Amino acid sequence: MKTIPSFTIDHLRLRRGIYVSRKDVVGGDVVTTFDIRMKEPNREPAMGPGALHTIEHLAATYLRNREDWGERVVYWGPMGCLTGCYLLLRGDLAPADVAPLVRDTFRFIASFDGPVPGAAPRDCGNWLLHDLPMARWEAAKYLREVLERLGPEETAYPQ
How confident is the model over 62-73, as pLDDT tens digits? Answer: 999 999 999 999
81-107 per-position pLDDT tens digit: 999 999 999 999 999 899 999 999 999
Nearest to 42 by CA among 66, 16, 24: 16
Q: What is the pTM of this model?
A: 0.91
For residue 156, pLDDT over 60 is answered with: no
Q: How confident is the model at residue 158 (pLDDT cuts 50, 70, 90)?
A: very low
d(CA 10, CA 12) in angstroms, rounded, equals 5
Pick the CATH number of 5-151 from 3.60.10.10, 3.30.1360.80, 3.40.50.720, 3.40.605.10: 3.30.1360.80
